[in-house]
Copies of this chain bind each other. A is one copy, B any other.
Amino acid sequence: MTTDETGKAKGRDTRTRILDAAEKLFAEQGLASTSLRQITREAGVNLAAVNYHFGSREQLIHEVFARLVGPVNRERLACLDERRAAAGDAPLPLATILECLAAPALRRGGDRLRMRLAARVLSEPGVYSPTDFHRLFEEIAERFLGELARTLPDLPPAEIAWRFHFFIGALLQALHGLAGVKGMPGPFSELYRVPVEEVLRRVVAFGIGGFLAPAVPGNTGEDGP
């Protein structure tokens, strides 16, 4: 629990050092490609410390992800609660709902790289238990789908679920871009060298348009530009 001046950290400091190193390396290289040896080397701790403090590699992954996503989701729900308390029985503006969903993830710290991990874990199967993963987002999905249904009473619930899903995809793409794709040239390389707040406004605007689009008809038809 104490820290001496030689640079050696003791006690629970080792835990957080492992978590920090794992979080960074997972975000950079992915889950499956990151070894415990890399993590412990980066953290400056002994190899066995991981199994001592976390039991196994899998539980370390779980804890890293929970520590990353937990505060974000709590902030999301708090944002929604706050806006709802101010609105009484009235439906929340669509922009408010989407902001509460996107802002906590996008604004997370000055370190843009960090949130990339969440985007990655969603795409990597097997490593992280789907049920554990779902438990972390179950409450979020229910709350936001409920608010969206109240704000968009004319949109069928299935359509709302679909568009919520699509918006999550757009948001993950934004998180990916914010992390910076090294070595990726082309029109998207310069795209993310902008303030986070601008990315937030843009993805929310895109989402508003998507949610306000007319419900899909039963068949294909003409459409004006």
- Interface members, chain A 109-165 (any B CB < 8 Å): 119-120, 122-127, 129-131, 133-134, 138, 141-142, 145, 151, 158-159, 161-163, 165
Copies assembled: 2
Q: A120-B124, A125-B29, A202-B162 are known contacts. Are A130 and B169 too (CB-CB below 8 A)?
A: no
Q: Which residues of A contact B (CB under 8 A)?
A: 28-33, 91, 93-96, 119-120, 122-127, 129-131, 133-134, 138, 141-142, 145, 151, 158-159, 161-163, 165-174, 176-177, 181-188, 191, 197-198, 201-203, 205-217, 220, 223-225
Q: Give the interface SS of chain A, mostly helix, strand, loop or mixed.
A: helix
Give Cα A130 to B184, complex, Å.
Answer: 6
Q: Mind listing 18 A-B residue pairs with CB under 8 Å?
A: A30-B123, A30-B126, A32-B32, A33-B127, A91-B225, A94-B223, A119-B123, A124-B124, A141-B186, A151-B225, A162-B202, A166-B206, A169-B171, A198-B216, A201-B223, A206-B210, A209-B209, A210-B213
For the A-B complex with A30-B125, A93-B225, A161-B191 known, give 13 more contacts whose Cβ atoms are closer than 8 Å. Answer: A29-B125, A31-B32, A32-B32, A33-B127, A130-B184, A131-B185, A134-B186, A151-B225, A162-B202, A163-B202, A165-B188, A165-B191, A208-B213
A169 touches B173 (CB 8 A): yes
Q: A208-B213, A216-B202, A225-B96 are known contacts. Are A130 and B182 too (CB-CB below 8 A)?
A: yes
B213 touches A205 (CB 8 A): yes
What chain B residues lie within 8 Å of A122 (beta carbons)? 123, 176
Give Cα A154 to B58, complex, Å.
Answer: 50
